[in-house]
Structures are given as C-alpha cells and as structure tokens.
Amino acid sequence: MTDEYKNRRTFAIISHPDAGKTTLTEKLLFASGAIRLAGEVKAKGERRRARSDWLAIEQKRGISVTTSAMTFEHDGIVFNLLDTPGHEDFSEDTYRTLTAVDSAIMVIDAAKGIEPQTRKLFEVCRLRDIPIITFVNKVDREGRDPFEVIDEVASELALDVCPKVWPVGLGGQFKACYDMDENRLLMPGEDDESGHFGRVEQLDGVDHAKLDALVGEKMAAEAREQMELAREGYSPFDVEAFRDGSLTPVYFGSALKEFSVAELLRDIGKYSPPPGKQKAGDDMIAPDDKAVSGFIFKVQANMDPNHRDRIAFMRMCSGKFKRGMKLKVSRTGKALAVNAPIFFMAQDRQLAEEAVAGDIVGIPNHGALGVGDTLSTKDGLQYSGLPDFAPEIIRRVRLDDPMKSKQMKRAMIALAEEGASQVFTPRLGADFYVGVVGTLQLDVIEARLIAEYGVKATLERCGYETVRWIAGVDDDVNDFVSKNQGAVADDRYGSPVLLARSQWEAGYAEEKNPKLKFLKTRERV
C-alpha cells in the first residue's frame, strides 16, 4: 500500500470576521508559488479579487460565505487548504469543514485578541482534537502588547503556548519580525515604501550586534528582553503536545504585508500531522487501508455559472483513488463512476488522476451526492461526525412570478443539497420553507436565486421559530405525524421534522410524547 498520504497536510483557516483570514489564505498561496499575483480582498477598480472568494456577494462585501478548497505543492509537500467562512451566520459550513481537516490555523487580530466566533470555532477544534497553530495578524498596526495577546490565548483557551516568530516593534514602531527558530530577521524590502516584507537577514542569535544596526539599539534591546522573557516564560515546542492539541505555536506577523507567512507555511509542512485514522461507526479506518473511501463534507452548486455544475467536495480517508473508479454511495447503495474528479485552486480546476488520504477531491454530479455521504469500495462503510443543526430562523419562500415554480423547485433542491441552508416541505400545502443559522444567509439565498436561477423570491416570516427532527420507532413516529400533519414537514432526505412556533412548543411536544425524541442536532446517515 502506498504511503503517499504521509506528505499531505490538510488544514483549515479559522477566525472571527475581518481578522484577515482570506488575505492569509491568499498570501500562503503566493508564498508557495501557487499564484504569481496576490489580490486584495477589497481591491479597487480592475485590480484582482481574492482568489478564494469567488461568489459575487463575497466579492461585494469582502467576506467569505462559503468554504473554498485549494490544493498546492511546496517543498515536496501537498497542501490542501480550506478557507472557511468567518461570519457566525455561516458557522454550519465551518463546523462541517472542520471534520475534513487534520489541523487548523487560528487567525487573531493583534488589536482585538480572541473574539467570540474564534472561541466557538476553537471549541469545535478541541472536541475533535484538531491541532491549532495561532497566527497573530496585523502587528504592523496599532495593537495590544504581545504578552497580553499570548497570555489571553493561554488562559482563555487553556493551551500551552510557544512563540515561534516575535514582532520587533508594533504599529507605527513596527520594524521587523524575528524567526526565533532560525534566528532570521524578517524585514521590509529596502526600496519598498509600503513596508511589505522583502528581505531576510541571517543572524547568529538575538545578541548579534547586527540586530542593533538593523533596527536601532533601543528597539533591539527591547526585542531581546521580550524574547528572553518569552523563551523562559512559555513552553518549549513539543511536536507531540502540538499534535495532541495541548500546545499551540504562535506566529506574530502581517498577512497583508507578508510577514511570517513563509515561516507559517514552512512549519505547517514540518509539524502539522499527516492524515490519521477516521471514525466510521465503531471502526477506525487507517489512511493506508486498502479500501478507497472518503466522505462528502460540502456540496456547492454553480461554481462555474456557465455550466450550471454541482460539485461535491470529498475528503479522502483511505486507499488510492484513481480516476474512473466506481465507488458505492453509502446512503443510496448505488455505485457512482467518478470519471471527472477535480482538484481546486480556488475557482481554477485540474483533473485529478489519482488521490490519496488527506486529498480534497471535487466530484461533479447532478444531485447524486449530499453532505454526509460516504463513498467507498467497501460495503457498509459510513463515516460519522457530520451534523445537521436545527435552524434558528425559518422563512417561507414566496415566489414573485408563479410561472417560475419549476425553476424555484430546482433551486431549492440544489440549495438543500449544499447543506448551507436547510429546506423543508410541509406535509400540508405547497410551500417551501428555508431554515438558516443567521440573517446574512437569507441575503445570500435571495442573491443566489436571482443570479444563478433567474428566480426572484421573497423570504417572508411564517410563524415558525425552529424545527426538531422526529426520531423513534417507526410506528410511533408515523402515529405522531398523522395526528399533527399541519405542524410536520419533510427535510431534504424525506425525514420528518416538527415545525415549532417557539422553543417552548418544541419542549412541550417532547414532554407530551415520551416515546419520541425531538432532536436539535442530527448526524446524516
């Protein structure tokens, strides 16, 4: 069996909105040589858009609302990078993405420290024992004291911390970053008035006289004292502690100006774990298992509007996949010939002839695959851990032009398959309801209905506040459904849900029907 998977590094970038996550994604691609021109997220005029934000609403607002997958190679390592939405309204997409990675980079704004969404995403990583690398961004702007930021990471997230790259000055006094492992001073280019990273000075250590000459005696003395305190006061780096999720290496830098980005990329390759075992029911499937297997963690429609395509993103878990293979879909039991699998670099594509554990493969399909599906050459295999969450906002879809009901139905089915929003069909009536986590998702749905399907619709209040999946013995479920037709709908997979007008009503239904379970969270099987 091949051990190619050992040179794979599959990781996500997580953060609070506006911490600089998408910029860091792009600069990692630039540092690896995967792209030649780094575009800014909010570029002006004809300047290039960020490579990983390809949806029109993302480019307009300068935020990420979907997960982009990018595969690139650097120094003999194949990196699979997943850029996740930072906005909390799209947290479901991020949670599912975190099931597909082996490590994560947590981006923190140097001025703001740990923000609520960062904390939530970190907790998801902790539940899954995902190793975390911390990147403290925007050190070239006015920010908090480095010790204050690093202590907050240690105390609030209960992690050991190990500084790897330290800032020499902050904000208006920012001079450089110091690579503490390699004793390299990362400085702005000599003729670059914008202050972008451009040259490296190799030193013999922090006491090297060259440091004084390069950044000034006062700044050098302050940096030496800080780094000495940091070395003495924080944990030494231990790769096993990092990989088991108890220690995080910390890099101070600027994604926009490219400070510490190459060092971050170097150490992801050096220290982040290769693909490990994945849980499938009661079994743990090893990456070198002979059977080819993987699971779908995301479906995206219309990535290429010219072709009205639908791509399922599969995380490879075991075996060596070859183009043209037939894989069985666990949910339906049907075999699917994967004839045109693709690797992504943002919206650019390349045919995937082979893939191994850790790789993210795009599979074009027309509704055959949904989020949570397992594909395998082995019968009965089902990977676990991909949840659906009860939506916090429910809206009725009202079509402006009744003649476009077929297009709307097609659009609703496509949106449901993606898993970014949930679609429910009531047992009584012909309406569609959409369920989302946050209001920004509603704007995205309305924008996509017009842009991708030519359907103008209004998402209006419908009196329902949440849903609960109804679980139990078939006879008991059927009995409840038949007696409560007006308050029951089906989800995309045909599973019955209770439409509740309030959290209290959902709790009351559970109290009155002790034989049934009314679930807020459900794994797709």
What pLDDT, in 10s, does the model give residues 100-109? 999 999 999 9
284 contacts 277 by C-beta, under 8 angstroms: yes
Structure tokens at 316: 């490879």
Instruction: For the chain, give every domain's residue range.
Output: 13-64+103-271, 278-376, 387-523
Give the homologous superfamily in CATH for domain 278-376. P-loop containing nucleotide triphosphate hydrolases (3.40.50.300)
DSSP class per residue in 342-362 = EEEETTEEEE-SEEETT-EEE
Taking every pair of Cα atoms in the chain, the longest distance, rounded to a whole number of angstroms, is: 83
388 pairs with which residues across the strands? 522
Number of other residues whose CB lies within 10 A of the CB of residue 515: 11
Q: For position 346, what pLDDT does the model report?
A: 52
- Give CA angle at 271 (129, 91), nearest 5°: 40
What's the distance, CA 510 to chain centroid?
34
- Residue 368: Cβ-neighbour burial (10 angstroms; 0-12, 13-18, 19+): middle
Give the whole-angstrom CA distance, residue 197 versus residue 183.
Answer: 16
Dihedral pair phi/psi, residue 480, rounded to 5°? -65, -45
pLDDT of residue 30: 86
Please say whether the beta carbons of 365 and 84 come within 8 A. no
Q: Which pLDDT score, from 0 to 100, does residue 347 have?
A: 52
Residue pair 86/104 in contact by the 8 Å Cβ criterion: no
At the top level of CATH, the class of 387-523 is alpha beta
Q: Tell which CATH architecture fits domain 13-64+103-271.
A: 3-Layer(aba) Sandwich (3.40)
CA distance 67 to 53: 9
User: Closest Cα partner for 261 from 21, 7, 12?
Assistant: 21
Task: Look up the pTM and report it.
Answer: 0.78
Domains 13-64+103-271 and 278-376 share a fold: yes
In the numeric block, the tokens 């209290």 are attached to 504
pLDDT at 269: 96
Q: Is 385 within 8 Å of 99 (Cβ atoms)?
A: yes
CB 382 within 8 A of CB 281: yes
CA separation for the pair 36, 34 (Å, rounded): 7
How does pLDDT run across 370-402, given as a tens digit for each residue?
Answer: 888 899 999 889 887 676 777 878 988 888 888
Q: Taking Cα atoms as reference points, which of 387, 386, 379, 383 lies closest to residue 317?
A: 383
Dump the DSSP string for 353-409. Answer: SEEETT-EEEEE-SSS--TT-EEESSTT------EEE--SEEEEEEES-GGGHHHHH
Q: What is the pLDDT of residue 54?
A: 43
Tokens coding 92? 């479901």
The three-state secondary structure class of 223 is: helix
Within 13 Å of residue 221, how many CA atoms lie on the same side as its CB? 3
Residue ranges in the chain modelled with pLDDT below 50: 38-54, 57-58, 61-67, 86-87, 89-90
Bridge partners for 163 per DSSP: 250
Which residues, in sequence order, are CB contacts of 384 under 8 Å at separation 6+? 279, 280, 281, 523
Gyration radius from the chain CA atoms: 25
